[in-house]
Amino acid sequence: MPNPQHILDQVVAHGVVPVIRTSTLDLARTSVTWLKEAGFRTFEITMTIPDAPALIEELAQDKDLLIGAGTVFTGADTDRVVAAGARYVVSPCVSAEVGAACRRHNVPSLMGTLTPTEVFNALQAGSTAVKVFPASTVGSGHLKALRSVFPKITFMPTGGIDASTVAEWVKAGAACVGVGGKLVDEGLLKKGDKDTVLAVGKQLIEAYKAAKA
């Protein structure tokens, strides 16, 4: 039986979670292939991707990867993505349905919050860790303030974070970070600009490692 805390510890150990959000399944697959080459080993596959559960099932066959599902709002979708092989479930908001389903499946839930009240509500709803989203709209000082009243909570800020800002989020108390558009640039994917995607990915990994050192 899976252990939610053990899985969460693996997510935290990876440090940076690429949030895969593209207009097509093929572009999503390409982004994962390239970012794996850059050094990433965990990916949040969002449910806005067409046929996302099929991609989760495909990627979950790779035992080198830890695959999660993102933009999950309902218990039914939680059931679908876990059945497909998702090891953790991320939501942009607080959802008691998702929390209950994750408990049934023994997988960690990371619910999206911004305010102290939302953090509290997420924990009450069963969130194993807390996503701060959209992080760029509030800045790292906001996370530092949340950490002062929730010192034992695992926080994953997501949104607008890149190699130039990741250190300030780590300093503010981020256990790990989610990175979407700054890393998964659909324009670069469509152009086939693998070199730039690899360079951005490697730069982010190095910046995160330096911040944690």
CATH of region 4-212 = 3.20.20.70
Q: Is the pLDDT of residue 23 over 80?
A: yes
Give dist(CA 60, CA 160) in Å, integer.
Answer: 27
Q: How confident is the model at residue 2 (pLDDT cuts 50, 70, 90)?
A: confident
For residue 112 the two structure tokens come to 């999206």
Catalytic residue among 36, 37, 44, 194: 44
Mean pLDDT value of segment 139-146 = 98
Is 70 a residue whose pLDDT tops 80?
Answer: yes
The pLDDT mean for the chain works out to: 97
Residues 6 or more apart whose CB falls under 8 angstroms from that of 128 comprise 4, 5, 8, 102, 108, 109, 110, 154
44 is catalytic: yes
Give the mean model confidence (pLDDT) for residues 7-16: 98
pLDDT at 1: 75
**CA-to-CA separations, 90 to 14, 106, 171, in angstroms, rounded:** 16, 14, 23
Report the pLDDT averaged over residues 86-110: 98
The pLDDT-based confidence of 154 (bands split at 50, 70, 90) is very high
**Domain residue spans of the chain:** 4-212
The pTM assigned to this predicted structure is 0.97
pLDDT above 80 for 87: yes
Split at pLDDT 50, 70, 90, the class of 148 is very high
Active-site annotation holder among 57, 131, 152, 212 = 131
At residue 75, the pLDDT reads 98
- pLDDT tens, residue by residue, 118-131: 999 999 999 999 99
Under 8 Å between Cβ of 86 and 60: yes
- C-alpha 189 chain-centroid distance: 20
| Element spanning 180, H or E | none
Is 144 an annotated catalytic residue? no
Q: How far apart are CA 167 and CA 209, in angstroms?
A: 9
Rounded Cα gap, residues 164 and 89, in angstroms: 27
Angle separating helix axes 52-59 and 75-84, nearest 10 degrees: 30
Q: What percent of the chain has pLDDT over 70?
A: 100
Distance in angstroms (rounded) separating the CA atoms of residues 15 and 205? 8
Token pair of 36, please? 């794996």
Which pLDDT tens digit goes with each residue over 35-57?
Answer: 999 999 999 999 999 999 999 99
